[in-house]
Every structure is written in C-alpha cells, then in structure tokens.
Structure 1
Amino acid sequence: MDYQANYYAYVEQHKMLAKIPEVKLDNYAYRNKGGAEFEDVTARWGLNIPSFSNGAAYGDLDNDGDLDLVINNINDKAFIYKNTIDSGNYIRVELIGKPNNREAIGATIEYESSQVKGFYEHTIYRGYLSSMDSKIFLGLGQDSVVNLTVTWPDGKVSKLLNQKAGQLLNI
C-alpha cells in the first residue's frame, strides 16, 4: 500500500472540504418575463430558506401539466415545490431512441407556433447530481398548435406539423 499517496489524498480532501461553506445560504429563483428579461421571485416563491442545497430537478410530479421543482440538500430533507401557476399551453414529448440510446440523448427539437419559437437539446442531466424526467416539456404560451422538427442523434430528421397543445407525443 502506498501510504504517501494515501496521505496526499487525505490532505487534498481536507483542503477541499475546508472550502465548502459553513453557513447555509438562500436559494434563488428568477421568473422569465419574456425574451431576455427576468425578475427575482425568490421570496415570493418561498425559496429563500437557508440550506446547503446541492442540486435541483424539475418535472411534472403530479401530472397536472406544469413543472414542479425538487431541490436536494446536504444532510437535510429535499425541498419540493408544487407549481400552482396557470402557465398557459404546452406540449410534452417523449423521444424513443434506438436500443443503444433509448432516451435519444443528444437529439434536438426546433419548435414554432404563431407566438413562440424555440430550440431544445435533449439531455436528462442538469447540474450536480441531478437528473430530469426524460419527457420534454415545451411551453407554448397561449398558442394551441405547434410545429416540431426533431433532429435525431444519427442526423435523421422528423417533422411533425400542426400538433395540438396539451398532449404527450411519443416520437
């Protein structure tokens, strides 16, 4: 056994641990007001609880058509926030990939409706030790119909025109 190497690993680990904050900090939340403008809604949404948060995930936990939030904490219970805002129309997409990539990680979706235009790159990983639902949630505002262009990891393209809001598409 290499005791010197173990000693250096031990010392480096303690140096790293010394950099971790010793005081719990508030989380932050910003609401998109449209385009590139955001407002701080931390207190209004109840996220200003001091914690050692270390990762977050979102998904439709209660299947009501909006995204809920889970914040993971070190040595404490996770915070779960239920979304109660009527946020307009949406479409959910579940990409069904090939056997070696069942969730189609790396696929992209371009979507466009009369008022909304967007781009989504599919990955289920967000942040440190966090993973998302593989179902994709695309907000459409007040629009009820959307066109989708899926570019698969192998470069093939699928176009889906005039898709109705409020549904889950399995592609």
Structure 2
Amino acid sequence: MSKIAGAQGNIFEDAKNWPPIGTASLSGYERSRVLLNRGQAGFVDVAQEAGVTDLLDGRGVAMADLFNNGLLDVVVANEKGRALLYRNIANPSHWVELKLVGTRSNRSAIGAEVTAEIGPGRQRQVVDGGSGFCSQNDRRLHFGLGDQRLGRVTIRWPSGTEQVLNGLAIDQLHVITEPPR
C-alpha cells in the first residue's frame, strides 16, 4: 500500500487514488518534496513531476476529499504566504469513504477503529481529532481500493460496540451511525 506522509503536518494516508506519486512530504523552510516509495529501492523525489514546486514556508498539511469524487486533495498552510491547494486530478480507482456518527460514543466518533478487508489484505484506520501541526485531516475515512474487492468492514466504536458491515457499495460515501446497544 502506498502512503502519503508529511513532516510538520504529519499525514499518513492511503494513496491508491493519487496520481503516481506515492508519498508526499511537505515541511517548513525547505523545498517541498513528494517522495515516491519504490519499496526496497527506497524513495525518489518526484515533486517536479507532481507539480509541487512552491518555495513557501509550509507548516500545516491536511488531506480531504474536497470535491467528493473519491480523490484525496492536499491543503498546505504556509507561515507567511497563502494556503495552497493541491487538487488531485488522477483518474480515480475504486474507493469507499465512511463518515461515522457516534450516538453512545462521542458524536464525532473520535477513537473509532475501522478495519476494511480489501482483496487478500486489511486496512485499519482510526478516526482522530487532531492530525498535525496547524492542520486537521477530514474525519471521514477514505479507503483506496485500487482494483481490489471490498469485503467486510468492522467498526469498533469508542463505546466498545462492534459493528460489522457487509456489501457496502464502492465509489461512494457512506454515513454510518453507531447502533444502539
């Protein structure tokens, strides 16, 4: 699985629905970098190819599907400059997004753990309430599927309730409400 990672504004997100850049690192007082993870071969900076060429003092970095199209976009807050939006223009692969709404747990579902069975593997994500310096990622959870099939999705709510979902439609956002006891 590819990851996107940031320095001061730490981001670790699934990058299957990104253009072929793999991993991004954006931080202050340095040229912004986009690092492609080549596995055993290490990382290669592909910032120029990805269009990340600004020389601003990047601080906060956040990711969200800003246009509700299954593609994660990146917003960078800069110390003494304008904010930058890196809009994802890749051809989308398959995906599913989950917006969790707590009832017995906190309404924002912070702390909920979601495990999605994707193809032969699993991805696990946790809804967090703060994800970096001067930034906050979207609390909706985005699972990039690529060409893999989505299987069972298990949610462990902060209240301790476990909810299992089967047959979720792909390529859309699902709003999931915590079940009563």
TM interval, short-chain normalised: 0.7 to 0.9
Confirm or deny: 8 A CA contact 1:146 1:164 kept in the other structure: no
Match of 2:168 in 1: 163
Cα distance in 2 for residues equivalent to 1:167 and 1:34: 30
How is 1:1-171 mapped onto 2 (pairs within 5 angstroms)? 24-32=29-37, 38-98=43-103, 101-171=106-176
Matching residue's letter, 2:57: F
Which TM-score applies when normalising by structure 1? Answer: 0.77
Cα distance in 2 for residues equivalent to 1:69 and 1:75: 18
Higher helix proportion? 1
Matching residue's letter, 2:48: A
> How much does 1:129 deviate?
1.3
Fraction of identical pairs, as percent: 29
Confirm or deny: 8 A CA contact 1:59 1:132 kept in the other structure: yes
Cα distance in 2 for residues equivalent to 1:68 and 1:35: 27
> Comparing both chains, which one has the higher relative contact order based on Cα–Cα distances under 8 Å and sequence gaps of 6 or more?
2
Residues 139-148 or 65-74, more deviating: 139-148
> How much does 1:33 deviate?
5.6
When Rg is computed on C-alpha atoms for both structures, the one with the higher figure is 1
> How much does 1:146 deviate?
2.9
What is the RMSD computed on CA atoms of the aligned residues? 2.4
> What residue ranges of structure 1 are gaps of 5+ in the alignment?
1-22
> What residue ranges of structure 2 are gaps of 5+ in the alignment?
1-27, 177-181
